């Protein structure tokens, strides 16, 4: 797996389902709370407890439930790759890369040069190591 330690790339169906799940959760949360403040829908602009957004698309998930997310909101944040959404989080996801292109450039450098990548939420940076040979080779992140 070329993604860093513990991440599993979602299928296209998984990405769509994850984005739809966020939209549904946001709509439900706003409906439950809008009676307290009619302007809530505008204030949160699609955000669910400041942690989810209808324009975030999950790309991969890790073994702790965290997600790599592509931000499709407009402006300077468009295309950013975020990390977060663990159960019980009190803060929103944090930006890790400016774009998918930057993410893949960093992964390429790590794989070709053996450099480390540090992700928020992980105590230590991880380095890729190729194990096995020929058709049975795989990448381990340690």
Mean local confidence (pLDDT), 2-28: 84
pLDDT, average across residues 80-103: 81
pLDDT surpasses 60 at 46: no
Structure pTM?
0.78
Reading the block at residue 35, the tokens are: 């009676």
Question: What per-residue confidence (pLDDT) applies to 111?
Answer: 87
The answer to whether 112 touches 127, Cβ cutoff 8 Å, is: no
Rounded distance, CA 32 to CA 36, Å?
A: 9
Tell me which of 89 and 6 has the higher pLDDT: 6
User: Using CA atoms, how far apart are residues 1 and 30, in angstroms rounded to an integer?
Assistant: 38
Tokens of 17: 């389902």
Which pLDDT does position 126 carry in this prediction?
A: 86
Mean of per-residue pLDDT scores for the chain: 80
Print the SS3 string covering 50-76: CCEECCEEEEEECCCCCEEEEECCCHH
The band of 43, judged by pLDDT with boundaries at 50, 70 and 90, is very low
C-alpha distances (whole Å) from 86 to each of 82, 89, 96 are: 12, 6, 15
């Amino acid at each position: 797996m070329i993604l860093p330690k513990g991440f599993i790339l979602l299928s296209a169906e998984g990405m769509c389902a994850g984005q739809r799940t966020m939209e549904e959760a946001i709509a439900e949360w706003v409906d439950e709370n809008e009676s307290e403040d009619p302007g809530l829908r505008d204030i949160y602009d699609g955000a669910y407890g400041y942690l989810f957004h209808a324009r975030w698309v999950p790309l991969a998930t890790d073994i702790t439930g965290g997600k790599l997310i592509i931000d499709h909101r407009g402006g300077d944040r468009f295309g950013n790759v975020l990390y977060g959404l663990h159960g019980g989080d009190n803060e929103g996801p944090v930006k890790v890369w400016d774009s998918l292109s930057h993410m893949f450039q960093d992964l390429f450098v790590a794989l070709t040069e053996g450099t480390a990548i540090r992700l928020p939420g992980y105590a230590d940076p991880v380095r890729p190591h190729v194990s096995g040979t020929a058709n049975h080779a795989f990448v381990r992140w340690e």
